[in-house]
Structure 1
Amino acid sequence: MIKTDCIFCQKTDIVLENELAKAFWDIHPVREGHLLIVPKQHYTTYFDVPATTKQALDDLLTASKAFLDERYHPAGYNIGINVNPAAGQTVMHAHIHLIPRYEGDVKDPRGGIRKMIPHAVKGWLK
């Protein structure tokens, strides 16, 4: 189903797509080239997405990386999925963040997502 009140269902400025998934620029990018990969059908969270659509998301994630490699030449990537508001999901349509990373874009990139949960790295950077 495609929901008329869902901004991701209605998104038309597509960067890449396949039969079941589409990729578009994040409107609040963490870094230049930040893409969102979403199923074309509406699923609230990643855990609601059927296996065939998850495969399409993964295929598009790989194609998106190749596209970003060619266009921006990043030094690395963060891939993230937030599930439900407690984990930071603000649009209730399943989506994957593909965030290019560049040498020197942060002082110390170690730990990646762990820096989002401060108690998880308490003492790690000592």
Structure 2
Amino acid sequence: MTYEHENCPFCQIADANNHHRVLEHNDHGFVIRDGFPVSEGHSLIIPKRHVQSFFELTPAERNALLELLETAKADLDREYSPAAYNIGINDGPAAGQTVPHVHIHLIPRFDEAGVDPRGGVRWVVPEKADYWSGRK
């Protein structure tokens, strides 16, 4: 799937002044809630410039996005008091990236009875995730 700047849903948000979905912003990026959240408060940290890969960001963009990540976490701590977080980037189609505009997922995690969270992001490859139980 290829998006040009004008067809990119994240660029449409970045290009709008005071877009209603933007929770925080700085010179290089902004924070929104994920449209298809994994958990309550699931947020995306997105650069304003249309760039597909994290590895194509400038140092200033990377630093600005990490500042927004910290701000978003503090906001989620206040609003939802999660027990933990998953932080992830799907970089490229083979990694599951569906919108080719880099974005960082900040996913609040909550203690859930009967749920074993071990393995975390390793579950993107389910057959490799459980390395501790001896199951193959």
Change in Cα spacing, 1:123 to 1:25, as seen in structure 2 (3 Å) is: closer
DSSP 3-state at the match of 1:99: strand
Partner residue in 2 for 1:40:
48
Question: Alpha carbons of 1:123 and 1:66: their partners in 2 closer, same or farther (altered >3 Å)?
Answer: closer
Partner of 1:7: 9
- Secondary structure of the residue that 1:110 maps to in structure 2? coil
- 1:42-91 Cα offsets, whole Å, 9 max, x none, are 11111111111000000000000000000111010000001111101000
Secondary structure of the structure 1 residue equivalent to 2:61? helix
Aligned equivalents of 1:96 and 1:113: distance in 2? 13
2:11 alignment partner, SS class: helix
TM-score by length of 2: 0.86
Distance 1:48 1:67 in 2: 28
Change in Cα spacing, 1:77 to 1:106, as seen in structure 2 (3 Å) is farther
Secondary structure of the 1:91 match is coil
CA distance in 2, matches of 1:91, 1:5: 11
Give the one of 77, 81, 84 matched to 2:89.
81
Aligned to 2:100: 92
SS at match of 1:37: strand
How far did 1:115 drift? 1.5
Q: CA deviation at 1:106?
A: 6.5
Q: Percent identity?
A: 46
2:122 is matched with which residue? 114
TM-score, structure 1 as length reference: 0.92
CA distance in 2, matches of 1:4, 1:10: 7
C-alpha displacement of 1:4: 1.4
- Deviation of 1:121 (Å): 3.2
Which of these two proteins has the greater Rg computed from alpha carbons? 2
